[in-house]
Amino acid sequence: MPPIQPSTLDADVLRGHSATIVERSTWPRDRLLAFQSQRLKATLRHAATSSQYYRDSIGDLVSRNAPLEEFPVLTKRLLMQNFDLIVTDARLSRKLVEDHLGGDDPGSPLLGEYRVAATGGTTGEKGLAVFDGPAWLDAIGNTLRFQKIVGIDETTGSIAIFASSHVHISHRIGAELRAFRPAAPKLNVLMPIEDIVETLNKHQPEVISTYPSFVRELAKEAVAGRLRIRPRLVRTSAETLTTDIREIATAAWGATVANSYTCTEAGAMGHECLIASGLHLAEDAFVFEVVDGGNRRVPNGVAGAKLLVTTLTNRALPLVRYEISDIVTLATEPCSCGLPFWRIASIDGRREEVLQFVGRRGETIEVHAHRLRSPLTGAKGVRQYQFRQLSDGLEITISVFAEFDRESVASEVGIAVRSALETVGAKPERVAVRMVDDIGRSGSGAKEKLVIRDSEPREHLPPGT
C-alpha cells in the first residue's frame, strides 16, 4: 500500500466551505431544486462555450434552452476518447493526466490547481477525473456534510479500512480528511486480519468505514470473540450493499449500517442518514436521472437501466448526462429525517452483473447476480462466492469454511442456485460449482467482485501469493 499522503487543503478553509454546504441540508426542497436548476443552466452554458466537445454536441440545445432529457449521453468510452476536447483548460490532456497519475506524487495538484483521480472500474474500463480547485473543495465539503448527517465530526473516533490505490478518488478524499484526524490508524483490507483486529480492539472506534464484504469478515471475528469492539455505526461504500450485511452488523454490534455512493469521475454523490433507508443525493452538486435503456426517465419506485449524472461544480471537466451502469431505483416518498435531498431506495448492482440464461421457451432471461446471493448466503459453509457466465449456463466458484464438507456444500449450492433460477423461468443447461481455497480481492481497489466475465482470468489470487 502506498503511504497516505498529506492533505492538500487548509483545514480552516475546508471548515468554512463545508459550513456553507452543510447549511443547505436545512433548506426546503423547493429552494434546493431552484438552486440546482440555476446551477444546471450555468453549467450547460459553460460547457457549450468552453469545451470544444460540448460546443459541437450540445451548443444548439443550450442556445434554444432545451430540457436536459434531450441532451446526448456521455459514456465512459466517449469521455476517454474525447478527453482532450472535453476539458476546458487547453493545457490539460489525457496524456498529461495519465503521466501525473503515474508519477511520483499523483496527489499533488496538477498544474498547481487540478486534483486528478483514476479508476479501473467495475466495468473493466478505465476512467479519469480532473477536479478544479473549487470543485475539489466542494467534493470534500460534501463528504464532510454526509459525515455530519450521520453524526460524525472531528472528535468522532472513526477508522476506515479500504485498500484503494493512491490514485483512487476514495483514497484522495480520505487523504484530505486526514487533516482532521492525523492520528487515526492506517488500516487496509489486505493486511493480516489479526493485525486489523488488534488495532480495532486497541482504538475502540465509534465508526468503521469499509467494504460491505469486509463487514462480514469483521463480524466473523466478533462472533469468534477475537474482535471486541462496539461501533455504533458502520459506513459502507464501493460494493453493492445487501440486506444481509445490515443484519450481520446489527447482530454483531447492534450497529446501524449507513451506505454511501461515490463515483470516481464525479465524487461523493450520496449517503444514507441514520434512518438508513436509502441514499440521500447531493442534489445541490449534481443532477441525477434514473433512466431506461433509451435514456428516458423512469418513475420513482421503478428500477432504471442506468443512472445519468450531470456535475454542477466542476468547470474543468464538465460531465453532462454521464452514464453510470448501476441499476438504481429512486424512493417514492421523502425520508422522515427531513433532509431536502431525495433518496435512492436501492442499487441492485451493476449492469455488468446481469447474467443471461435461456428460458423455458428459448427466450433470453436476465437475472441479476444479486438475486442469486441469498441461496449462497443461505447455504451452510459457504465462505466466498463468485459467478461466471458460461455460454450454456453458469459457473459458481466458492470457497468453504474448513469445518464443512466441501462436497456436500457444493452439491447444496448447485441445487439452491438451480432452483432460484427456475423460479424466475431460467433453465440453464449447466450449473457448475467450482471449489477453490480462496477467492482473492480484485484490482487495485481490492473490491470483492461478484461476477467475472469470460475475458477475465479465472480467479484473482491475493497479492503476495
Q: Rule CB under 5 A: which residues touch Zn ion?
A: 273, 275, 335, 337
The nearer residue to Zn ion, 112 or 338, going by C-beta atoms, is: 338
Provide DSSP, 179-224: GG-TTS--EETTS-HHHHHHHHHHH--SEEEE-HHHHHHHHHHHHT
The nearer residue to Zn ion, 33 or 337, going by C-beta atoms, is: 337
State how far the alpha carbon of 223 is from the alpha carbons of 188, 215, 218, in Å: 21, 12, 9
Smallest gap from residue 280 Cβ to Zn ion (A): 6
The nearer residue to Zn ion, 23 or 405, going by C-beta atoms, is: 23
Dihedral sign for Cα 291, 296, 297, 299, please: negative
The nearer residue to Zn ion, 339 or 376, going by C-beta atoms, is: 339
Smallest gap from residue 259 Cβ to Zn ion (A): 12
The nearer residue to Zn ion, 61 or 273, going by C-beta atoms, is: 273
Smallest gap from residue 339 Cβ to Zn ion (A): 5
The nearer residue to Zn ion, 273 or 446, going by C-beta atoms, is: 273
Angle between helices 133-149 and 169-177 (to 10 degrees): 70
Smallest gap from residue 157 Cβ to Zn ion (A): 24
Smallest gap from residue 156 Cβ to Zn ion (A): 19
The nearer residue to Zn ion, 118 or 273, going by C-beta atoms, is: 273
The nearer residue to Zn ion, 186 or 232, going by C-beta atoms, is: 232
Pairing of strands 187-188, 207-210: unpaired
* Rounded distance between C-alpha atoms, residue 69 and residue 132, angstroms: 26
* Rounded distance between C-alpha atoms, residue 243 and residue 320, angstroms: 32
* Rounded distance between C-alpha atoms, residue 74 and residue 92, angstroms: 19
Rounded to the nearest 10°, the torsion over CA 137, 140, 146, 148 is -80
* Rounded distance between C-alpha atoms, residue 29 and residue 40, angstroms: 16
The nearer residue to Zn ion, 119 or 329, going by C-beta atoms, is: 329
Smallest gap from residue 61 Cβ to Zn ion (A): 34
Smallest gap from residue 276 Cβ to Zn ion (A): 8
Cell 469478515 belongs to 217
Q: Which residues pair with 396 in a beta bridge?
A: 387, 433
What is the enclosing helix (H) or strand (E) of 101?
Answer: helix 94-101
Residues 6+ apart with CB under 8 A from 38: none
Smallest gap from residue 345 Cβ to Zn ion (A): 12
The nearer residue to Zn ion, 142 or 325, going by C-beta atoms, is: 142
Smallest gap from residue 304 Cβ to Zn ion (A): 21
State how far the alpha carbon of 376 is from the alpha carbons of 214, 373, 409, 433, in Å: 17, 5, 10, 11
DSSP H helix total and E strand total for the chain: 13, 20
The nearer residue to Zn ion, 36 or 256, going by C-beta atoms, is: 256
Contact (Cβ atoms closer than 8 angstroms) between residue 278 and residue 343? yes
* Cell triple for 113: 490547481
Contact (Cβ atoms closer than 8 angstroms) between residue 436 and residue 397? yes
Smallest gap from residue 275 Cβ to Zn ion (A): 5
The nearer residue to Zn ion, 271 or 321, going by C-beta atoms, is: 271
Residues 6+ apart with CB under 8 A from 368: 327, 348, 349, 353, 354, 355
Provide DSSP, 357-409: EEBTTS-EEEEEGGGGHHHHHHSTTEEEEEEEEETTEEEEEEEE-TTS-HHHH
Residue 360 one-letter amino acid: R
